[in-house]
Structure 1
Amino acid sequence: MPAGAKAAYRDATHGPVMVDLGDVPRTMYATASSLTLPAHLANVRWPALDALPQLTTVRCSGPDRGLAEALTARPIIQSLVWDDPPHTVDLSTTHLTTLTISGTGPRLLRLPPELIDLHVEGEPPAAVEAAGEGRWIHLSIAAFSRGVSNGLHGVRRLDLRASGDLSLTALEALTDLEWLHIRWNHPHGGLLDDSRLSGVSRLHTLRLTDAYGVDASSLSHAPTSVRRLDVNGIRRSQSELLMARHRGTPVRVTVWGAKSDAWLASNIDNPLRDWVDDDEQAGAAACEAYASALRAIDHLPADDPATATRAQPILRHLIEQLNAIEERSEIIDTLRREEAADAFFDLAQRAGITDSEAADWFDEWRDF
């Protein structure tokens, strides 16, 4: 890190500064760490960033507009979130350590050697240029449906989000893969019979989350190198088979969040379903409170201007129920609070309520 950049970061004033990126000048604190670039600006006044010497994260969308050059000149900026980037993205001379690509992905992505976290939340790039074929990158793919991009076959840590049944044969090109985490979204699928990963000889840790569609028999073909198998969320019947299959083997199996088929039949799509892992009675009450609110919201007429108004007492009653659950059981920690917020915002969105208004209601009504 250049001495000048470190000195500017250390000596930043704590008062407001004017930031003029080329549209309407805005007042920000000089110590701001995050900035979202206006998408409509064809020509960005990049020198305006110099007023923010502690800026470490930038969010943008659309064309480059000189972004890569501006990041190269500002080594303090180490995190970038880019939605719908152009066909070719060259960040090789920047100092980024974290990059999130969403929307329509680039066809060619050039990465800096310092990058350690790459999150692909939309269409994956066709080709990637990365140091060591991505050997030092923790790769996360939010919608995995086919193989990893060319140029990232050296990754050692891979986090996948999948929907439905999944075959891992496309990962056999990742011969250096050591750590694999698969998380299922709805629908919760399984691992297909041909998911043997026979070409992966260094994989030592396999983690599965929300693996409610996974059959224990599909894990009997795991690479012989695997020594740790962690499963968070699985059918209880499959959990027992899984433990039995690996008893007496070198694989250490850890399972938590196992649930009965009867419970999952009613709650598999409930975003608060995992609360029963902390407190069975409180978790069941939270699931029922959400399910009741969902039924009420879904019965409101669509495309009716009065729907948002009629949804307000439904949403408030949900929060009051969660407040009461928290008062009795103290179950809502930081993670559960975020899950409650996500569930609340999803219901509000179904009723046509803006995110900003929903956020105001959530913060006003909750006691957790």
Structure 2
Amino acid sequence: MFGNETVEVDFGAGPVTVPAWTTWVNLTGGRSGIPVPTDGPVDWTQLDKLPYCHSLLWSGAERGVVAALSKHGITGLEWRDASGEIDLTSTALDGLRLTARGLRRLRLPASLTSMFLQDPPPTVDVDAPESGRRIELLLFFGDQEPAIPAGLRSAGKVWLKVGRKFSARTLHGLAALESLDIELLDPPGTLTDTEELGVHQKLHTLLIENAYDWDPATLPELPALRELELNGTRRTTAAAVRARFKGTGVEVSVSGARSERWLAANIDNPFMDWVDDSKPFAIAACKAYTKALKAVDAIPADAPDRLPLAETVLRGFVADLDAVQEKYHLIDTLNREHAGEVFAGLAARAGVPEETAEGWFDDRNF
């Protein structure tokens, strides 16, 4: 309808031209966002110029964003660095993403059906209709001990992203659990106490990801279980699970089953899973990462020229990945995004500012 039509919006930090059909607005500034004042009022009436906008990206203090959500019928929100007390009951939100280390209390609307909550404090007070029964819940725990907020313990579908180790005992309070996805993010991925899943008699779908350190014999009898998926596991684990459920009503699927030899050599390498595309391709990418990691760690912390030294290493890493792509042609969109995340991790380890690192990564051929 709008074609190439544009509108000018100014939330208080200067005018920006955007497409008239814009559906998602990033109000965090930066390279791709619309700037807002660092202090002082935000002109939320600018949303009137964007009638098709249904989602916002916001960061920091509240500053009137909740009233704007309610007035403009916004249904999707990502809020970074949320803190204090947040009451969203007046909104029509359907989807919500919160980074919430400083959050004390959160009140949720009845319209909410999915929520991503990152790093919630263990003492956070969540008030959700029906204790979250209608909400598909994704909880991301970085370097803190996982804990399920009490106000969400009726959630039936739960995804958990955790670090190196997770105990299934943490899930005891989820009385209505029917579908569970546990993803371990840091190798080797230790999953313990899975015998405790026996309290979840309604659990029909279970997905376990990257649990290379897990004894499948500890999985209890689950009378409602119908789907069991392993994504990222040992071949021996996969064989044991398949044998156990053969001829039963449980459908078992496995992806990313690794040999002991491959794991011994690459368990700590973020490109380990590229072996699914090609083993020589994965070996080359793993070597490029190992080389870059050693070079980053060799830069003295107090070196006055640390930044240019890091630039040399990181640009060398990009060049190595360019060479990998030139030879194998297997760095597709997903692998490119993954490589970007790996690059960002190396840059952070080297103390390189995020925007500076992004510029270096953009100077690539793959």
Identity %: 35
| Residue pairs, 1:215-254, within 5 angstroms | 215-219=215-219, 221-254=220-253
The answer on whether the counterparts of 1:175 and 1:201 sit within 8 Å (CA) in structure 2 is no
| Matching residue of 1:274 | 273
CA pair 318-18 structure 1, distance change in 2 beyond 3 A:
same
Measure, in 2, the Cα distance between the counterparts of 1:106 and 1:311.
35
| Matching residue of 1:15 | 6
| Matching residue of 1:41 | 39
The answer on whether the counterparts of 1:46 and 1:70 sit within 8 Å (CA) in structure 2 is yes
- For residue 19 of structure 1, report the CA deviation from its aligned partner: 0.7
The answer on whether the counterparts of 1:19 and 1:51 sit within 8 Å (CA) in structure 2 is no
| Matching residue of 1:94 | 91
- For residue 290 of structure 1, report the CA deviation from its aligned partner: 0.9
Structure 2 unmatched runs, 5+: 29-35
| Matching residue of 1:321 | 320
335-344 or 51-60, larger mean C-alpha shift: 51-60
The answer on whether the counterparts of 2:191 and 2:211 sit within 8 Å (CA) in structure 1 is no
Using structure 1 for the length normalisation, give the TM-score: 0.87
CA pair 358-107 structure 1, distance change in 2 beyond 3 A:
closer
Residue identity matched to 1:277: D
Structure 1 unmatched runs, 5+: 1-9
Residue identity matched to 2:181: H
| Residue pairs, 1:182-331, within 5 angstroms | 182-193=182-193, 195-219=195-219, 221-331=220-330
SS in 2 for 1:239: helix
Q: Does 1:27 align with 2:24?
A: no
Structure 1: 4+ residue segments shifted above 6 A: 10-13
CA pair 81-268 structure 1, distance change in 2 beyond 3 A:
same
Q: Does 1:69 align with 2:67?
A: yes
| Matching residue of 1:151 | 151
In the alignment of these two chains, the number of paired residues is 354
- For residue 118 of structure 1, report the CA deviation from its aligned partner: 0.7
Measure, in 2, the Cα distance between the counterparts of 1:279 and 1:42.
54
SS in 2 for 1:54: coil
SS in 1 for 2:103: coil
Deviations 1:109-166 (A, max 9, x none): 2212221221111224633232332222111110184442222222121100123432
| Matching residue of 1:3 | none
Measure, in 2, the Cα distance between the counterparts of 1:292 and 1:138.
41
| Matching residue of 1:177 | 177
CA pair 70-297 structure 1, distance change in 2 beyond 3 A:
same
- For residue 246 of structure 1, report the CA deviation from its aligned partner: 2.3
Measure, in 2, the Cα distance between the counterparts of 1:80 and 1:337.
26
The answer on whether the counterparts of 2:146 and 2:170 sit within 8 Å (CA) in structure 1 is yes
Measure, in 2, the Cα distance between the counterparts of 1:264 and 1:202.
34
The answer on whether the counterparts of 2:168 and 2:193 sit within 8 Å (CA) in structure 1 is no
The answer on whether the counterparts of 2:166 and 2:184 sit within 8 Å (CA) in structure 1 is no
| Residue pairs, 1:97-112, within 5 angstroms | 97-112=94-109
The answer on whether the counterparts of 1:294 and 1:347 sit within 8 Å (CA) in structure 2 is yes
Measure, in 1, the Cα distance between the counterparts of 2:259 and 2:243.
18
- For residue 91 of structure 1, report the CA deviation from its aligned partner: 0.6
Residue identity matched to 2:206: L
Measure, in 2, the Cα distance between the counterparts of 1:11 and 1:132.
41
The answer on whether the counterparts of 1:39 and 1:62 sit within 8 Å (CA) in structure 2 is no
260-269 or 152-161, larger mean C-alpha shift: 260-269
CA pair 85-350 structure 1, distance change in 2 beyond 3 A:
closer
| Matching residue of 1:83 | 80
The answer on whether the counterparts of 2:84 and 2:105 sit within 8 Å (CA) in structure 1 is yes
Residue identity matched to 1:335: L
What's the RMSD between the two structures over aligned residues?
2.4
| Matching residue of 1:57 | 55
Deviations 1:279-334 (A, max 9, x none): 11111111111111111121122232422222333323322332232233332222
Q: Does 1:115 align with 2:112?
A: yes
| Matching residue of 2:31 | none
